[in-house]
Copies of this chain bind each other. A is one copy, B any other.
Amino acid sequence: MNAFLAVIGRDLRLALRQRSDVALVVMFFVLTGAMFPLAVGPEPNLLARIAPGVTAVAALLAVLLSLERLFLADYEDGNLELLALAALPLELVALAKVAAHWLTTGLPLVIAAPVIALLYDMPADGLAVTLLALALATPSLSLIGAVGAALTLGARRGGVLIPLLVLPLYVPILIFAVSAIDAELAGLTALPNLLLLAAILAFALPFTPIAAAAALRQALT
User: Which chain B residues border A18 with CB–CB below 8 Å?
Assistant: 155-157
Secondary structure at the A interface, as helix, strand, loop or mixed, is: helix
Tell me how many residues of A have a C-beta within 8 Å of chain B: 51
A190 to chain B, nearest CB (A): 15
Residue A73 CB within 8 A of the other chain: yes
Please tell me if A191 contacts chain B, counting CB pairs below 8 Å: no
Interface core residue of A52, A54, A160 (most chain B CB under 10 Å):
A160
A115 at the B interface (CB under 8 A): no
Contact A24 B161 (CB under 8 A): yes
Give complex CA distance A68, B156 in Å.
12
Mark interface residues in A9-28 (1 if CB within 8 Å of B CB, else 0): 00000110110110011011
16 contacts between A and B (CB under 8 A): A14-B156, A25-B160, A28-B167, A35-B167, A36-B53, A39-B50, A39-B53, A39-B175, A40-B49, A40-B50, A41-B182, A61-B61, A65-B159, A66-B157, A68-B68, A69-B159
Per CB-CB distance, the 9 closest pairs between chain A and chain B, nearest first, are A39-B53, A40-B53, A24-B160, A40-B50, A31-B167, A28-B163, A21-B157, A27-B164, A39-B57
